[in-house]
Amino acid sequence: MTVVADPGQHRRQRVRLTPQRTIQVPVTGSREAEGPLTLGQVNIAQWLSQVSDHFYSVLCVELPVPAVASVDDVVETIAVLGARHEALRTSYDLGEEKRQLVAASGTLPLEVCVLGQGRWGPRDRTSVAGTLLRLLRDNPDPDRPAMRVVVAVSPDEDGRVIACAGAFSHMAVDHGAIEVLRREFAELVGDTSRRHVGTPRHQPLDQARLEATPAERRRARAAQVYLQRQTSKIPRLLYHMPDTSPGGDPLAVELSSPAAATAVRRVAARTRASRQSVVLAAICAVLAHRTGDEEIVLPLMSGNRFDRHLLDYVGSLAQGTIASVGVAGRDFDALVAHTWTTVLEASRHARYDAAERARLDERIAHERGLLFRYEPLFNNLAPEPGPGTSPGVLPGTDELRAALAHTELRWRPVQRNAKPVRFNLNQLDERLVLDLWVEDDGVVPRQEAESLLLAFERVLVAAAHEDLTTARMHDLIGLPTAERSANWLLLDSCRVDLRQVQSLLDDALAPAVTRVFAEANGHPLVAYVTITDHVSTPEQAHARCMAALPDHPAVLTPRHYVLCPTAPTDPADLASWPAPRHTGTGRAPAPTVEL
């Protein structure tokens, strides 16, 4: 195994780009129109209203080019794509009545950069494309066009395109749409005979009209009912470990493993499940063992491309959903099958009105006494191989062991994430490439992150040859299950540290004297509070605790509040508190969604 820093650093100094010109490529479509947003667009607009500068608000990817391509080839390709796909000619009015506005014509920017002196060719494409991607990320376009393309050309007279990259507005496209655009870009740039708009496509305005039909409205409401059930049991933090030291930096560790890629192919063939489900099952097995949880309730993303007319659709369809993966008592093959069916069920309930979901989430959060952050625990960015793809010949034990020597761990700094841990699956073919993003390396140290990824790899490689019992999986994972002191309790699917709840009470209800108890008078997690001018009812106490939660991200609010006129000499002595003036939960029941 090799551990390295950012793999592009050693090459970066040799790839020098000089901006030469920007071409505004004219694009002309078949109509000018406007209409309401699609559910996918509403979802992105809702998300960006909270974090407009999020790392993923603009999606940057390499665009494939053949060995011989000119700037004119790229210009003509952009013109066809802009005419073919209305999402690339759309602007958005995100006022009170949100609308999408499709222009009949417009322009898309193409930036041309010249490489430094040297002999440049296809072998340099990866390193040059990496530099182009950094250029796009480090120099965002303030106008945020739907598609912005940059090419690097050779310094000689023919000016061949060596590499190409694109930045796409997430309002316009999601990762599924980008794969469509990358495929079509490769076809068009390499073959002049294909450069025509073709037959009419299903466009975002068409999708918005479809979503307004009674059948699709019922489908969206059913998704809300499903999500209400899942939201009512998802833990506040999935990876909530004891004895951590918050206040560190975010980082990402990337596992690149040819052995794991081979293992995933074999397990998928044996279990008849998707390769992504095999990966997620192994992740859940490792996390459940480490945290001691029997079920992993996780946010994830659904591409929402199940319907035939959406397979080649260019627009934002992806939305978040929640899956519940029961790990306890399942051998690995059974866990893979269960994960696959569970994720399919969750993914088919991922098209809904994000604004309505936000309102429902707010009420459920108030009832449960927590805050939701829905960054996905698992984000699958690796395309599933098509039907008929052979899993290949299973290598022997010695060959797999030899492949493990080529495992690499790369780490790099990243922007802060909203989850303690997040897994991004980026590649599944010759190598399995899995990122583990850590929000705070004081909570999840780098060594811990690397240990989780290597445990994941060990489980997969062992499962390549045979099903694994639960005991065998525990042995392979090789990490201790978290041990928690008597200050911790499991409540409402959440790990709760009473010391952290007490800190919340001290901050939210000062100058009142407060004390939290794990149980009192038949109620769990009870707060005793002295009455003050600002807090005299359970409702006021709960409202102030909810308002303070952003500064206490790992905490649940008390389930019951007891308001007393005075405090005893020793607040920790439950029996010494005087008779209360008011008691209650401080919240109203969460609403249900009717079909």
Please count the other Cβ atoms lying within 10 Å of the Cβ belonging to residue 357: 23
pLDDT of 324 > 80? The answer is yes
Indicate whether 500 and 371 sit together in one domain: no
Among the listed ranges 1-10, 75-84, 127-136, which one has the minimum average pLDDT value?
A: 1-10
Distances (CA, A) of 427 to 62, 125, 261, 453: 14, 18, 9, 15
Residue 482, domain member (yes or no): no
Task: Write down which residue in 448, 477, 506 finishes a domain.
Answer: 477
Residue 420: what pLDDT? 75
| Mean pLDDT along residues 442-469 | 94
Indicate whether 468 and 542 sit together in one domain: no
In the 3-class helix/strand/coil scheme, how is 160-219 assigned residue by residue? CEEEEEEEEECCCCCHHHHHHHHHHHHHHHCCHHHCCCCCCCCCHHHHHHHHCCHHHHHH
Residue 118: what pLDDT? 84
Residue 565: what pLDDT? 96
Residue 153: what pLDDT? 95
pLDDT of 5 > 50? The answer is no
Summarised one tens digit per residue, pLDDT across range 204-217 is 999 999 999 999 99
Residue 546, domain member (yes or no): yes
pLDDT of 389 > 80? The answer is no
Residue 394: what pLDDT? 62
Task: Write down which residue in 173, 203, 233 finishes a domain.
Answer: 203
Indicate whether 88 and 178 sit together in one domain: yes
Residue 25, domain member (yes or no): yes
Residue 459: what pLDDT? 97
Indicate whether 292 and 170 sit together in one domain: no
For residue 502, what pLDDT band results from cuts at 50, 70 and 90?
A: very high
Nearest Cα neighbor of 59 from 171, 139, 152 is: 171
Residue 393: what pLDDT? 63
Helices (H) and strands (E) in the chain, counts: 16, 22
Residue 105, domain member (yes or no): yes
Summarised one tens digit per residue, pLDDT across range 439-454 is 888 888 999 999 999 9
pLDDT of 117 > 60? The answer is yes
CA distance 325 to 322: 10
Residue 418: what pLDDT? 60
pLDDT of 12 > 60? The answer is no
Query: Can you read off the two tokens belonging to residue 25?
Result: 């490529």
Indicate whether 377 and 517 sit together in one domain: no
CA distance 76 to 148: 14
Indicate whether 138 and 167 sit together in one domain: yes
Nearest Cα neighbor of 318 from 270, 410, 367, 381 is: 381
Distances (CA, A) of 536 to 37, 268, 532, 540, 570: 45, 59, 6, 7, 21
Residue 503: what pLDDT? 97
Indicate whether 242 and 288 sit together in one domain: yes
Indicate whether 278 and 149 sit together in one domain: no
Q: What percent of the chain has pLDDT over 90?
A: 77
CA distance 278 to 238: 20
CATH code of residue 316: 3.30.559.30
Residue 553: what pLDDT? 81
Average pLDDT over the chain reads: 91
Residue 388: what pLDDT? 44
What is the rounded (10 degree) CA torsion for 267, 268, 272, 273? 120
For residue 49, what pLDDT band results from cuts at 50, 70 and 90?
A: confident
pLDDT of 9 > 50? The answer is no
Residue 56: what pLDDT? 78
Residue 196, domain member (yes or no): yes
Residue with tokens 């000016």: 159
| Mean pLDDT along residues 242-254 | 87
pLDDT of 285 > 90? The answer is yes
| Mean pLDDT along residues 472-493 | 95
Indicate whether 419 and 564 sit together in one domain: no
Residue 56, domain member (yes or no): yes
Indicate whether 100 and 140 sit together in one domain: yes
| Mean pLDDT along residues 129-135 | 94
Indicate whether 152 and 22 sit together in one domain: yes
Residue 1: what pLDDT? 59
For residue 385, what pLDDT band results from cuts at 50, 70 and 90?
A: low
Using a 10 angstrom Cβ sphere, with 0-12 exposed, 13-18 middle and 19 or more buried, the burial of residue 294 is exposed
CATH code of residue 555: 3.30.300.30
Residues whose CB is less than 8 angstroms from the CB of residue 326 and which lie 6 or more positions away in sequence, other chains included: 294, 295, 338
Residue 392, domain member (yes or no): no
Residue 591: what pLDDT? 46
CATH code of residue 20: 3.30.559.10
pLDDT of 395 > 80? The answer is no
Query: Residue 135's domain spans which residues?
Result: 11-203
Overall domain count for the chain: 3
Convert 47-68 to b/e letters by CB count within 10 Å (16 or more is b).
Answer: bbeeeeeeebbbbbbbbbbeee
3-state secondary structure of 326: strand
For residue 519, what pLDDT band results from cuts at 50, 70 and 90?
A: very high
Residue 10: what pLDDT? 39
Summarised one tens digit per residue, pLDDT across range 327-384 is 999 999 999 999 999 999 999 999 999 989 999 999 999 999 998 877 678 888 886 6
Choice between 4 and 282, residue whose per-residue pLDDT is larger: 282
Task: Write down which residue in 477, 512, 531 finishes a domain.
Answer: 477
Residue 391, domain member (yes or no): no
Indicate whether 165 and 137 sit together in one domain: yes
Nearest Cα neighbor of 178 from 168, 187, 188, 164 is: 168
